[in-house]
């Protein structure tokens, strides 16, 4: 993803708590399983430890990328953590780090461990700690939350092996037993497990990187699923595009470890200089029907008719939203992929090839202004959506110096309005500044809002946003980078808390 499910992987992507929370009447939330979730989640206050797996570290560039692991602590006390890096020869000596209260710490992996292209495990007993990682060179960057669990399968709905691109799959096994996996490839007209991708052994405490582009060649879109024969791994994909056939950029994509009948993407956009498409994979043995619904910000009551997809077994379907006249070309929108109960996996691909068009006309008196998408002229992003909503989220690692400024998208999928509170996670703010930077925003039923970093935050700092809500919402982010025509998109990280843990989306 060109960046940051945050998010999501991927993003926006790992374990979610099985907790019942406040949900608008009359819906009764279904319980979300801790074992099979498609989003990373910060662990709850009763947990004795939390583990984060940051798998990918190679992108296929001539020189190794810079790899940074970013720890954000939304708690009131200093958090301690242990980071262990893994390379071809196994684990390296661990490093102990401290994360300030209401602040963040960045680990430069190569400088800390003395070698490039390492996977990292972060362990901490501190509640409220969120970990993600960023890869970058001088010309491309991306970042995603790290995984909080392993899985026996990982889905990648939308990969690319066209000319000028790389498609690397990282299989990370930090455990004491070997793991064996098969990688099944889903194309537009077939699904198969090539011999080169069958029975891959990932030795204990090691990392294997598979060049998917060497096996699946010259494909603009293909899907894969990593299935474990024995043991478990964390799977993450990196895609580097050298500008030969499109924008220069990087996509990081944490695999999706669980299917769902409903996926929500809180923020998207089309218009001048943008191509946006939705890829939906049918992992079942039956033909299914899926709907792709686009809800413009401020236009929940007049949303366009959904796009209906008929998807055969083990195939994918694509909707090019930027080519559809019923999707407004200006402003933001939320996207929902839904079926009548059949599980699917989905991704939204965003490609920027030029600057935004002229700003929209001023709104009528009393009407809200239509936001214009960030003023970038190049970049690639991928988001894997959220299968749940929650009332407590952390958006980590927003760069307050980036231009254009990062954007945080909040979507209310339920049929009653809710109120959100936005609090910066930045250690430089005293009590008065923190109070001044805290804001409250109402989100109408079925609608969304776009947020930016509060002005009180110091320029140049790496800041998080803690978003709490009266009712469950879905949160994503758009991240840009200082001095780069570059972006990342993906999910924020839901907290597990007594107040509001993750719940099923309406209709799921």
With CA atoms as reference, report the closest residue to 258 among 154, 182, 334.
154
Does residue 372 register a pLDDT over 50? yes
36 within a domain of the structure (yes/no): no
Q: Is residue 114 classed exposed, middle or buried when 0-12, 13-18 and 19+ CB atoms within 10 A define those classes? A: exposed
Q: Point out the least confidently predicted range of 132-146, 204-218, 405-419, 451-465.
A: 451-465
What span, in angstroms and rounded, lies between the C-alpha atoms of 249 and 351?
A: 10
Domain tally for the chain?
1
With CA atoms as reference, report the closest residue to 486 among 409, 404, 407, 408.
404
The three-state DSSP-derived secondary structure of 306-372 is: CEEEEECCCEEEEEEHHHCCCCCCCCCEEEEEEECCCCEEEEEEEEECCCCCCCCCCCCCCCCCCCC
Q: Tokens standing for 2?
A: 């060109």
Q: Which residue has the tokens 């009763």?
A: 46
Q: What is the CA radius of gyration of the chain?
A: 21
User: pLDDT tens across 253-276, in order?
Assistant: 999 999 999 999 999 999 999 999
Does residue 1 register a pLDDT over 60? no
Contact 477/129 with Cβ under 8 angstroms? no
Q: Tokens standing for 480?
A: 């840009």
Structure confidence at residue 462 (pLDDT): 85
364 within a domain of the structure (yes/no): yes
Does residue 14 register a pLDDT over 50? no
Phi–psi pair at 300, nearest 5 degrees:
-60, -35
* Mean pLDDT of all residues in 477-500: 81
Name the DSSP class of 195.
Answer: G
Does residue 63 register a pLDDT over 60? yes
Other CB atoms within 10 Å distance of the CB of residue 101: 15
Structure confidence at residue 486 (pLDDT): 85
What span, in angstroms and rounded, lies between the C-alpha atoms of 77 and 496?
A: 18
245 within a domain of the structure (yes/no): yes
Other CB atoms within 10 Å distance of the CB of residue 341: 10
24 within a domain of the structure (yes/no): no
End-to-end CA distance of the chain: 26
Contact 269/332 with Cβ under 8 angstroms? yes
Q: What angle do CA 4, 224, 240 make, to 5 degrees?
A: 45
* Domain assignment of residue 130, given as a range: 50-504
11 within a domain of the structure (yes/no): no
Q: Give 501's Cβ-side CA count (13 Å radius).
A: 22
What span, in angstroms and rounded, lies between the C-alpha atoms of 506 and 208?
A: 39
Percent of the chain with pLDDT over 70: 88
Structure confidence at residue 497 (pLDDT): 53
Contact 251/59 with Cβ under 8 angstroms? no
Does residue 66 register a pLDDT over 80? yes
User: pLDDT tens across 111-126, in order?
Assistant: 999 999 999 999 999 9
Contact 221/121 with Cβ under 8 angstroms? no
Contact 3/381 with Cβ under 8 angstroms? yes
Does residue 49 register a pLDDT over 70? no
Name the DSSP class of 151.
Answer: B
User: pLDDT tens across 309-351, in order?
Assistant: 999 999 999 999 999 999 999 999 999 999 999 999 999 999 9
């Amino acid at each position: 993803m060109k960046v940051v499910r945050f998010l999501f992987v991927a993003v926006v992507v790992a374990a979610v708590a099985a907790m019942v929370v406040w949900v608008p009447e009359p819906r009764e939330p279904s319980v979300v399983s801790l074992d099979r979730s498609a989003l990373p989640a910060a662990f709850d206050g009763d947990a004795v430890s939390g583990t984060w797996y940051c798998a990918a570290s190679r992108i296929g560039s001539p020189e190794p990328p810079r790899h940074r692991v970013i720890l954000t602590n939304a708690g009131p006390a200093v958090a301690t953590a242990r980071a262990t890096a893994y390379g071809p020869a196994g684990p390296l000596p661990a490093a102990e780090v401290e994360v300030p209260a209401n602040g963040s710490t960045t680990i430069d992996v190569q400088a800390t461990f003395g070698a490039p292209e390492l996977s990292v495990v972060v362990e901490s007993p501190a509640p409220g700690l969120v970990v993600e990682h960023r890869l970058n060179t001088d010309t491309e960057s991306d970042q995603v939350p790290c995984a909080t669990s392993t899985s026996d399968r990982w889905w990648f709905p939308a990969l690319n092996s066209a000319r000028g691109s790389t498609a690397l799959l990282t299989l990370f096994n930090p455990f004491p037993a070997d793991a064996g996996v098969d990688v099944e490839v889903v194309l537009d007209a077939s699904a198969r497990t090539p011999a080169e991708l069958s029975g891959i052994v990932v030795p204990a405490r090691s990392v294997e990187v598979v060049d998917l582009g060497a096996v699946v060649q010259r494909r603009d879109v293909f899907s894969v699923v990593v299935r474990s024969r024995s043991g478990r791994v964390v799977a993450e994909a990196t895609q580097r595009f050298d500008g030969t056939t499109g924008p220069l950029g990087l996509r990081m994509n944490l695999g999706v470890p669980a299917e769902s009948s409903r996926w929500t993407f809180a923020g998207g956009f089309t218009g001048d200089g943008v191509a946006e498409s939705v890829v939906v994979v049918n992992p079942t043995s039956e033909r299914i029907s899926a709907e792709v619904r686009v809800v413009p910000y401020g236009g929940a009551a007049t949303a366009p008719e959904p796009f209906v997809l008929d998807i055969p077994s083990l195939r994918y379907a694509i909707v090019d939203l930027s080519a559809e006249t019923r999707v407004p070309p200006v402003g933001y929108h939320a996207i929902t992929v839904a079926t009548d109960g059949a599980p699917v996996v989905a991704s939204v691909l965003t490609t920027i090839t030029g600057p935004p068009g002229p700003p929209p006309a001023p709104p009528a008196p009393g009407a809200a202004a239509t936001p214009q998408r960030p003023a970038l002229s190049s970049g690639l992003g991928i988001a894997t959506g959220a299968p749940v909503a929650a009332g407590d989220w952390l958006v980590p690692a927003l760069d307050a110096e980036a231009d254009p400024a990062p954007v945080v998208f909040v979507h209310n999928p339920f049929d009653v309005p809710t109120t959100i509170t936005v609090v910066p996670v930045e250690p430089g703010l005293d009590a008065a500044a923190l109070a001044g930077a805290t804001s409250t925003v109402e989100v109408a039923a079925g609608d969304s809002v776009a947020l930016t970093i509060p002005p009180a935050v110091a320029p140049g700092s790496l800041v998080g946003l803690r978003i709490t809500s009266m009712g469950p919402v879905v949160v994503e982010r758009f991240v840009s980078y200082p001095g780069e025509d570059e972006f990342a998109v993906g999910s924020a990280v839901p907290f597990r808390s007594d107040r509001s843990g993750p719940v099923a989306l309406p209709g799921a």
